[in-house]
């Protein structure tokens, strides 16, 4: 086989929406699910753009809705990080760019130069060096010891390739002349919502994930509001039952062609899921299942015509969408069908990264409702997928919410080239 033939075959595979999967055989073996999960999580850090990740951090943790209770204040972040949170984003991003320009090296002289030209949001080299020592770096012996400890626990033997890289927690290695960043995207990971989730959990306690989830739900709502431009009516969650003790899904969006029920989940993968353990993958799938069950419950309430939901029509198809803060790879594919139970409403799962990229383009289409209905309808063997709603559209709209954030923070946050 020539290289050209191999490339042509790969191109055909890439173009396939969902191949025709046999009912039995190697592709349905749980071992395939475990392997694909490991590969997906290992490579997931390199899939999404830096700009969107940093802007999402700002939306969730800096310019969050004031209705969210329990998130750290600006003063809380500064007390723990040593600098305000937006400055922390700028400093780490500048280190990431600098390490890329210097083949993974960053010397003390580089640090002084960056500070002199204002790359660190106005902070001096001493402040940045302290921040690196506290939050970003370790020495080589400590790194080796951490790796050996993880290798020795019960999950380590035989699976060293898939264990969490200790550089994720401290992506820089200190030495006599400065620092090394062997995997520079791990620096960027420290300022994504996922990286700051672990920072927040460490410094602010067990209530931080709950507050982050509340903030994410409101960010999802701000993006769904874009659909009003194409005629949709967006309803936030509706309380019902005795004294409003129960609630519907987070958002109910009414189009002439369908009703879309949206549930947001700030779930993230566990170490067991990243290792491809069946129990870990099953637990993660259970969380998606819970969101789909909530969608089913709301659909039943619409069909029952309870008074609280009288504004939601019952004369059109209903589809569901689960929006997750972090990607849950492959959960809607054949690899997970035996872990996902049946639901009455056809639903898809989409991560915030893709959700934020798709909605602005979808909102500009005159037939957005029909596109959504088609995309979220199962076409054997293809599962529902939000991305198909914009697949045939040439050129994509910029996200106005992200652009607005950038316009207000560009003086401090360097935009990636």
In sequence order, the β-bridge partners of residue 236 are 251
Q: Is the pLDDT of residue 118 over 60?
A: yes
Per-residue pLDDT at 149: 84
**How large is the C-alpha radius of gyration of the chain?**
23
Structure confidence by residue, pLDDT tens digits, 361-402: 999 999 999 999 999 999 877 889 999 999 889 888 999 999
Separation of alpha carbons 76 and 47, rounded Å: 31
| CB-based contact 261:214 (threshold 8 Å) | no
Per-residue pLDDT at 417: 42
Q: Which of 34-43, 223-232, 312-321 has the lowest mean pLDDT?
A: 34-43
Mean pLDDT of 337-344: 90
Q: Is the pLDDT of residue 415 over 70?
A: no
Q: Is the pLDDT of residue 17 over 60?
A: no
Q: Is the pLDDT of residue 95 over 80?
A: yes
Could you tell me whether strands 251-254 and 233-236 are parallel, antiparallel, or unpaired per DSSP bridges? antiparallel
Q: Is the pLDDT of residue 121 over 90?
A: no
Q: Is the pLDDT of residue 102 over 60?
A: yes
Per-residue pLDDT at 287: 93
Per-residue pLDDT at 334: 84
pLDDT band at 416 (very low <50, low <70, confident <90, very high): very low
pLDDT band at 28 (very low <50, low <70, confident <90, very high): low
Q: Is the pLDDT of residue 18 over 70?
A: no
Structure confidence by residue, pLDDT tens digits, 138-176: 999 999 998 888 777 766 666 777 778 889 999 999 998
Report DSSP letters for 258-293, one per residue: -EEEEEEE-----HHHHTT-HHHHHHHHHHHHHHHH
Q: Name the token pair of 383.
A: 């599962």
* Average confidence score pLDDT of the chain: 90
**CA dist list (Å): 85 to 58, 102, 207, 277, 369:** 9, 26, 19, 35, 39
């Amino acid at each position: 086989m020539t290289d050209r033939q191999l490339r042509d075959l790969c191109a055909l595979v890439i173009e396939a929406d969902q191949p025709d999967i046999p009912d039995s055989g190697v592709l349905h073996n749980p071992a395939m699910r475990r392997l694909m999960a490991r590969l997906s999580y290992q490579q997931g850090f390199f899939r999404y753009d830096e700009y969107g990740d940093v802007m999402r951090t700002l939306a969730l943790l800096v310019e969050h809705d004031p209705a969210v209770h329990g998130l750290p204040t600006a003063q809380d972040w500064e007390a723990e990080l040593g600098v305000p949170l937006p400055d922390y984003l700028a400093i780490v991003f500048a280190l990431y760019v600098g390490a890329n320009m210097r083949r993974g090296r960053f010397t003390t002289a580089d640090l002084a130069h960056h500070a002199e030209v204002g790359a660190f949001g106005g902070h001096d080299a001493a402040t940045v060096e302290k921040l690196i020592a506290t939050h970003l770096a370790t020495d080589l012996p400590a790194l080796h010891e951490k790796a050996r400890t993880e290798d020795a626990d019960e999950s380590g033997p035989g699976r060293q390739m898939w264990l969490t890289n200790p550089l994720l927690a401290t992506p820089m290695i200190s030495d006599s002349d400065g620092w090394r960043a062997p995997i520079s995207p791990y620096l960027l990971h420290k300022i994504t919502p996922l990286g700051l989730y672990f920072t927040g959990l460490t410094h602010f306690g067990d209530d931080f994930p709950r507050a982050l989830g509340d903030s994410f739900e409101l960010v999802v709502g701000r993006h769904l509001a874009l659909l009003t431009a194409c005629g949709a009516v967006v309803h936030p969650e509706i309380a019902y039952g005795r004294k409003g003790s129960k609630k519907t899904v987070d958002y109910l969006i009414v189009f002439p062609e369908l009703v879309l029920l949206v549930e947001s989940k700030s779930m993230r993968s566990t170490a067991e899921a990243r290792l491809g353990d069946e129990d870990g993958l099953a637990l993660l799938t259970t969380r998606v299942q819970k969101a789909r069950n909530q969608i089913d419950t709301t659909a039943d309430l619409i069909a029952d015509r309870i008074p609280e939901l009288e504004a939601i029509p019952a004369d059109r198809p209903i589809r569901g969408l689960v929006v997750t803060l972090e990607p849950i790879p492959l959960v809607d594919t054949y690899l997970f069908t035996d872990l996902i139970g049946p639901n009455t409403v056809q639903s898809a799962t989409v991560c915030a990264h893709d959700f934020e990229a798709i909605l602005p383009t979808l909102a500009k289409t005159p037939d957005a409702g029909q596109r959504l209905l088609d995309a979220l309808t199962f076409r054997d063997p293809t599962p529902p997928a939000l991305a198909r709603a914009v697949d045939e559209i040439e050129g994509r709209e910029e996200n106005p919410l992200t652009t607005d954030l950038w316009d207000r923070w560009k003086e401090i946050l360097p935009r990636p080239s």
